[in-house]
Chain A
Amino acid sequence: MHKIESKNVNFYYGTNQALKDISLSIEKNTVTALIGPSGCGKSTYLRLFNRMNDLIDNTKLEGQILIDGVDIYAKSTNVDTLRKNVGMVFQKPNPFPKTIFENVAYGLRVNGVTDKKFIEERVINSIQQVALWDEVKDKLKKSAFELSGGQQQRLCIARALAIQPSVILMDEPTSALDPISTAKIEELVYELKDKYTIVIVTHNMQQAGRISDTTGFFYMGELIEFDQTKNIFTNPKEERTQNYITGRFG
């Protein structure tokens, strides 16, 4: 069974169709990169996997999206349960106005976990997973805003990991970061693959090439090509993919 499956997905903002007939499948424990020029629908598509587009008024979805074989838009699907299973990391680091510790504990607390020891273990474990522990272990009670942008972004990843999702969505997670922080996050993504299935939107071709197993190229709401990353970058079947990758437009 595929981890994620998208079947003939159309998506509309009002009357504007943002996604056209997208079908693809993503395997467990892989990194999938979504690339394409600005406005082609990458973020829109990504937000479908944790039903974040539900928050936007006047939208319409056609087709099906399955995670672990379950239609996540079916009436019987609980949105909270889905969102706990599908973590998300955003373009700009957005820690909550809380301490470093409470940022990571947030997901546990809002889901009703009260066991102090359990929370503490999980928080420490999550911060260790994103390789931030050494940098913050002495200031867990300090505001998360005191961290650098790159540290904040890793904290946001830790925050997502704390509730143990199986899928992690990342929307241009390094575009606001410096090269060193970017390298750290890329390394992290590579390591997290062992435990999670990751879908990442990026404008950075090298990044897609470095960290992903599979790449999807979007253009004006359509999925032009979806294949193993090495095929996309060395031997794309579509001319538009070729043009985009070589920087001729976009």
Chain B
Amino acid sequence: MDKDLKISRKKKINQAIAFSLFTFLSYFIVAILFVILAFLIYKGIGVLSWGFISEMPTDGMTSGGIYPAIIGTLILVFGSMLFAFPVGVMAAIYMNEYVKDGWIKRFIKLMTNNLAGVPSIVFGLFGMALFVNKLEFGDSILAGSLTLGLLALPVVIRTTEEALKAVDDTFRQASLGLGASKWQTTSKVVLPIAFPNIITGLILSIGRVSGETAPILFTVAAYFLPKLPSGIFDQVMALPYHLYVISTSGTNIEKSREMAYGTALILIIIVLISNLAASRLRKYFGKKVKMN
């Protein structure tokens, strides 16, 4: 009896310790995020104004706004998704629904995982060599979007695969059992069920892509270009690169400091909005999916 009591007390203490440790760690992570945000807001809020997000930069980028960089980033994100989403989703469908288990599948998996680990600067170099030079797109939205798209591809593939895997096999069996073809089964049953999760993956990769500097460095980003592009072969400014420029090699770094924080703040806001949109869309489609 005595011994049992002791053990159960020890258990309780252990549990309490573990529990408070985990609680502490999770609040710690939240705290870090808040500190970063607070720091950026504190440093950058001063420059935020309607003009800051709607005007061209002036005075050697020490004043004025960052409008072209915002638009540039949005265009690049959109362009990269236009490429990465269909290609990534199709690749994942092929991998998960069509290829049999075996060394080919393992090999493709290994390669996509390796692709995810390639440093983004290497994507930049590759994009320059292939899209800018070899295919002669020049420094352009097209080249930049494709390079960013390549970077996002592994994320899109992996999240789509996870989403497809989460669909219970009996849905496939039920559909095939009614005489449906594999493609009918995939497109009419499996994809609609997996769709909310696929969308989440897509938007998470948007978050990743919008902050990348290295891949656009050699493929699209303009140092200073106070006008909007008129076609996909134009260059654009982009937020991360603009941030880099005015913090390291602008005409007057000290004077641009505050603008740099403002730019960072806008970038973070875009990422946060897209993450928020991800969870919203996921819920929305989660409901809607059951309806068609």
Contacts and interface: CB of A to CB of B under 8 A. Distances in A.
> Which interface residue of A92, A106, A156 has the most chain B CB atoms within 10 A?
A106
Contacts, number: 81
Contact of B177 (A87, A97, A99): A87
Contacts of B173: 52, 55, 88, 90
Interface residues of B, number: 25
Contact of B178 (A58, A91, A107): A107
A81 B179 CA distance: 7
A193 interface: no
Contacts of A50: 177
Contact of B189 (A57, A97, A99): A97
Interface of B: 100-102, 168, 170-181, 184, 188-189, 192-193, 289-292
B100 to A, nearest CB: 5
B175 A96 contact: yes
Contacts of B177: 50, 52, 83, 86-88, 160
A33 interface: no
Contact of A106 (B100, B175, B290): B175
A153 to B, nearest CB: 12
B192 A97 contact: yes
Interface string A69-105: 0000000000011011011101110101111001000
Interface of A: 50, 52, 55, 57-58, 80-81, 83-84, 86-88, 90-92, 94, 96-99, 102, 106-107, 110-111, 143-145, 156, 159-160, 163
Nearest to A89: B174
B178 A94 contact: no
A110 B178 contact: yes
Nearest to B177: A88
A46 to B, nearest CB: 11
B100 A144 contact: no
